[in-house]
Structure 1
């Protein structure tokens, strides 16, 4: 709270902010008294008005400390905002004169998305750079110009779970999908990659596509909060996120549009009819986001021609029919007294043997009952636990000893359900085969990509884009997926 009190000599004024008292020249306060004190909590307006008055360095160190800081905090956060201001004198912080708070554009690459760096922000006034820091547990959102909880800030991401990049490419190509891992028909096993945009290396994505894996869409921003996808996203938002990412995959990984058939919603938050109207309009074949209640026997994928064969629990499911659109439903895994949709959302206290038993038990629930496809869904970071990786590879080895078990993509599941074949005929089932594909020259992934250092106007940060094509002018983003100037 800000309080003003004249002292006995009538030449100075005491300004109190969050129990910190500053004494400044009264003539300065007289200039801004009507603006600052009368406006009270109209803080953003106050900041702009204060900036137009003639201030001395003394006033910047007192009133500005309080009022500019408050523009980034809501009333609830204000109670915890003391001791957040610091005058920055480091010459490494660049002065950006844009009348907005910004992050240090030259922060170290190895710290660029850490919580500490994401909580800092700066403002340049008259050549002086002022440093601010959000309260504990909050990050700064450069777009909305406020401090907020981590899950609500989508422009300072600290995870790359849904991207294909240097951190996980070798895991995919040399371990999980090693050429030695093959289906009963002799073809290498395949998987589906739901790719989000940030941190993705599009040369790697193109290589995975060349190797026969399916590339599907997982949004451009992967933004938070989670509920935004199910409650707030408009049809236009769905087009921006999902069709936008399809355009990015087509432009920078050279993936044919007709090969981009499916999508998965961030956080598995179904987006009611708006999501499926977008899918119908664009031509997506399937969604793979819906977690069904646990059931024995498990559920098969289904189309949305008719009512869903399960209840909609905790989701904003579609209320209309969408003929021709498939839902590759997520059957939950059974882990003792718990159930979980994705492998990495299962209880974290499991050891390697527990994981192996969990995978084997749930596979048998499918294999020994109605043989509904057994979906294995995870983020690459789950395999950072070496015990989990060894358990998963052991489980894969078990399955490859069975002559009627195939590792296939989501699209290959749909292709079989449309034209089912009995096991003896699967060796000649073309959609599951591995005949060499004819590529156009630009569709073959390059050996050395272009490394594009690009400015993002939205994220206010330089980003790197790896592509076999020419570098765009700007970092691609929603409503500018081609990176045009």
Structure 2
């Protein structure tokens, strides 16, 4: 059984306006009206939706609260101006699991004046008791390769997602069941399968109040169908079939491409910005590694999430060093945005959480660094002179403009 989209209620503001007939009251009758007996003034203009004046959507799981707070106005580069060094930090899954990591990085973002992207797994708002509501493509009803959250963790996740959006962060999608192997893997899905999966992810986010029965939580303060403009596929698989479905939905970017280089983003054939995980230098190794915690784990402890504690300090420094080395290579050359992908996990004693925090604080100490969401990066790219964007895209990994930035930023 699949959830259907719920209708919008309360979107009109609903003021009851008094109507008056003009020109029908004789002057005599007007003169007979007692002093002070005047028609009541009509209400003022509708102030529009806001956090204090939300417009519930559907069952009230979400609400229109107006423009998102803390969004920078993108500015076009002046001629010869060096681009900022953008850093985009994203979180796959984005569940609050009671270990304090979601709060930790919301606090860090405030300290660094940073925006991030949270790729929410829609299934994390669906109670396991309602698992039959999920019909994953090419898999049994209710199946999932990630666990369902407890009610306590669902509640905590809803609260943190609300805070995150009000703090200026983006809520994207990591889809639902995270199928990476076998016949039902997302690698084998069609565009129609992806559209089905997306529709279900949206339903779980927009109908959590009905699904959970929670009636004491504030709504998520956004219209998710408008908010959702990009995502990252499970295990970075199935992207070729996803892109047509994403384009049909009007998405602006995809962050699923594996093994991207540290160059300026380009658009896919479908018109989406391609914002991939990138290969970055890996201290202590003779190869580069994807800019994601799990890729480092795979190359350090062979995929084991509880590797040798005696090596944790070494691995932590390698991970921190990889993020910083990727940052410095771009910062000192082509200024290509740096994309970092992480998970709220305590793998290998939590060293990757510590590594990314240390790296971000180090990056923040440099001038001209901006921590933005993927959507904010798209906003910035789209206000630039297209000729300038093309020039930036022409710079190779680690390449600085030989004759200065005025030869690249020509607009």
- How far off is 1:345 after superposition? 1.1
Give per-residue Cα distances to partners, 1:116-171, cap 9 Å, x unaligned: xxxxxxxxxxxxxxxxxxxxxxxxxxxxxxxxxxxxxxxxxxxx972412335x32
| TM-score (ref. length: structure 2) | 0.52
Q: CA RMSD in A?
A: 2.7
Greater RCO structure (CA 8 Å; 6+ sep)? 2
Provide the rounded CA distance (Å) in 2 between the counterparts of 1:389 and 1:220.
Answer: 23
Where does residue 119 of structure 2 map in the other structure?
194
Instruction: Say yes or no: does 1:263 pair with 2:231.
Output: yes
Question: 2:330 pairs with 366, 371, 389, which one?
Answer: 366
Provide the rounded CA distance (Å) in 1 between the counterparts of 2:185 and 2:239.
Answer: 6
Provide the rounded CA distance (Å) in 1 between the counterparts of 2:353 and 2:317.
Answer: 11
SS in 2 for 1:366: helix
| TM alignment of 1:23-42, pairs within 5 A | none
Provide the rounded CA distance (Å) in 2 between the counterparts of 1:379 and 1:420.
Answer: 32
SS in 2 for 1:362: helix
Where does residue 272 of structure 2 map in the other structure?
325
SS in 2 for 1:333: strand
- How far off is 1:386 after superposition? 4.3
Please identify the structure whose Cα radius of gyration is greater: 1
Where does residue 348 of structure 1 map in the other structure?
300
Provide the rounded CA distance (Å) in 2 between the counterparts of 1:388 and 1:275.
Answer: 29
Q: Which moved more, 1:372-381 or 1:347-356?
A: 347-356
> Cα distance 1:387–1:237, how it changes in 2: closer, same or farther (>3 A)?
closer
Where does residue 245 of structure 1 map in the other structure?
201
Provide the rounded CA distance (Å) in 1 between the counterparts of 2:106 and 2:300.
Answer: 21
The 8 Å contact of residues 344 and 382 in structure 1, kept in 2 or not, is answered as no
Provide the rounded CA distance (Å) in 2 between the counterparts of 1:219 and 1:178.
Answer: 26
Where does residue 414 of structure 1 map in the other structure?
378
> Cα distance 1:392–1:329, how it changes in 2: closer, same or farther (>3 A)?
closer
> Cα distance 1:369–1:228, how it changes in 2: closer, same or farther (>3 A)?
farther
SS in 2 for 1:300: coil
Where does residue 292 of structure 1 map in the other structure?
259
The 8 Å contact of residues 302 and 326 in structure 1, kept in 2 or not, is answered as yes
Where does residue 342 of structure 2 map in the other structure?
378
- How far off is 1:374 after superposition? 0.5
The 8 Å contact of residues 255 and 276 in structure 2, kept in 1 or not, is answered as yes
Provide the rounded CA distance (Å) in 2 between the counterparts of 1:287 and 1:173.
Answer: 26
Provide the rounded CA distance (Å) in 1 between the counterparts of 2:183 and 2:263.
Answer: 26
The 8 Å contact of residues 114 and 371 in structure 2, kept in 1 or not, is answered as yes
The 8 Å contact of residues 249 and 255 in structure 1, kept in 2 or not, is answered as no
> Cα distance 1:213–1:381, how it changes in 2: closer, same or farther (>3 A)?
same
> Cα distance 1:404–1:280, how it changes in 2: closer, same or farther (>3 A)?
same
User: What stretches of structure 1 move > 6 A for 4+ residues in a row?
Assistant: none
Provide the rounded CA distance (Å) in 2 between the counterparts of 1:226 and 1:254.
Answer: 38
- How far off is 1:301 after superposition? 1.6
Where does residue 173 of structure 1 map in the other structure?
103
Provide the rounded CA distance (Å) in 1 between the counterparts of 2:295 and 2:183.
Answer: 18
Question: 1:398 pairs with 356, 362, 385, which one?
Answer: 362
Provide the rounded CA distance (Å) in 1 between the counterparts of 2:187 and 2:105.
Answer: 39
Where does residue 32 of structure 2 map in the other structure?
none
Provide the rounded CA distance (Å) in 1 between the counterparts of 2:189 and 2:110.
Answer: 43
Question: Any gaps of 5 or more consecutive residues in structure 2?
Answer: 1-90, 126-153, 209-219, 302-313, 386-411
> Cα distance 1:176–1:204, how it changes in 2: closer, same or farther (>3 A)?
closer
- Matched residues, number: 235
The 8 Å contact of residues 176 and 393 in structure 1, kept in 2 or not, is answered as no
Question: Any gaps of 5 or more consecutive residues in structure 1?
Answer: 1-159, 183-187, 305-320, 422-485
Q: Which structure has more strand as a fraction of its residues?
A: 1
- How far off is 1:329 after superposition? 2.1
SS in 2 for 1:262: coil
- How far off is 1:331 after superposition? 1.3
Where does residue 392 of structure 2 map in the other structure?
none
Where does residue 139 of structure 1 map in the other structure?
none
